[in-house]
Structure 1
Amino acid sequence: MELSDLKIFCCVIEAGGISPAAKALNRVPSNITARIQKLEAELNKTLFIREKNRLRASPAGEKLFSYAKKILAMAEQAIDELNQDKPMGTLRLGSVEAVAASRLSGVLMEFHQSCSEVDLELTISPTGDLADKILASKLDLALVCDPISDQRVGILPVFQEKLVLVSALRDDVIRSPIDLGNKPTILGFSTQCMYRSRLTQWLKHAEVIPRIVEINSYFALLNCITAGMGVGLVPEKLLDCYPFVDGLTKHPLPEEISKTTTCLMWRKDSLKPSMTAFIDTLMLHSNI
């Protein structure tokens, strides 16, 4: 079925016949008759009962009329929405947990107030998983650390972060991997976490082989570090949100380890008004 055939069919019913429908549509009656016959042949149903010079809808015609009105209304709505730039629909946002905890509360509040017709979904996951979801079009936008290089992906630097090594309270300062001892315990997310990758690479260069304990929440990780279970690498900004920060010691690291940029990434071929609106709101909070 073609939408144009459904429009003609509905017009014949609403106008009360072929001739008035032809006049309303500025067509010749024979064209209207041919289109109705085509539709009947496609559906293998008689849509009109012909009585002398009048037509009335058959039971099948009445049923099709109900569906046709809905189909035409949905088609018109789809065209209207595709042709407008107002942010609406669902926006699927991803973020690494540290950024979501320390940077996003104000951004999300402002975006919700200015774009109330957008339904925002937030996914928390490590950078590697978020990048995979962007490429697979399972997320619209994602805030990540050390993003992948891919021609399909747009990248926008948003936050400059300083990473610090944190341990339980101690007098000695950790300046190099050797200061951690022979078999240190480090706490971190999965292997897809870029902060963990940076820390393990730093230790590897000094030939220090750590014991790794995976934890899936930064606040759980900080609690474990406070309890003396090991050390971890976190954005310094995150510690502003941690209520027991007085139980931790921060250790500065070399710039190649500590300096990182949180970036927003998205598929270039999938940009939509809600994404553009979120980017505009986010950049008002950028520190770059």
Structure 2
Amino acid sequence: MRKKWITMGVCAGIGAVLLIGSGFANAANTSGYDAYKSALKNTKAVNSVTGEFTVAVSDQEKKIFAVDATVKKNQTEQTASSAVTLDNGTKTHSFNVFHQDEKTIIKREDRDGYQVIQTEGGKREHQRENAEIAPEMENVVDALVGNLRQQMALEERANGSRQVSMQLSGSQVPAVADAVGAMVIKNAANHHGSGKQQDKNPFVPADVKPQLPPLTKNIKVEGINLDATINPKDTLERQTVTLNISGKDDAGRDHHVTIKIDAVFSDFNQTTADSVNLKGKKVETVKRDEWKHRSH
């Protein structure tokens, strides 16, 4: 499911925040860090799952961008599907992505036909790279945690589920999170591209792209809030992450950006991805090299 920058951008974005969250998480006497990290691993390892994702970005409490996505993944069958709706405050845009028969198929609401990308070789290579780097990344996160392991509360519930929560603000926010947040928001704000380039994007028309505030100075992560529910089978059932970031643009105007990411997981090992029959449909085949350029 890689290189699909919006659909998997949602998933990758969620995953990145999960990683950050897991790095900051622990309960003093109940090994909450290990419990939370275990739930993350188990969620990733299930054969199939359905994810409902909502991402909302606001500046000074004014909505500037939102993403709603339903993602279905079946690892056993090597299939996946995504239904995504984008809202930049003035226009909305929807599209579907299907992964089947070692191909990626894209259907935009504003186009009659389907775009098909062959992904066989790259997908296997990416899976191998992930398998090699995962243990190293885990060690890096563990090393960065430090004393912040004590910042997450863990509540055991009568039905066997567990609720974990964390609120970091001000000096509690690690310097590494501050640096990463500044880097991400600078790049996101500056990566608009020309209208011509954006029109080539396989997912999003130019007039729906987000207009993020161009923060360039005094960028700081003011707060990180995380709430997660771990079900009795030790997989994530729901997680909400809220990031609060402040900064100034080149004109000296203050901005307070809030990013809220909500993820709900269900149908563990019972999910069947949606599929599409291309027989008789209008199809555009996109070469892998061109796909790399567009998705970048």
Higher-strand-fraction structure: 2
From the CA coordinates, give the structure whose radius of gyration is larger.
Answer: 1
Q: TM-score range by the shorter chain?
A: under 0.3
**Structure with the larger helix share:** 1
Structure 2 length-normalised TM: 0.19
Normalised to the residue count of structure 1, the TM-score between the two structures is 0.19
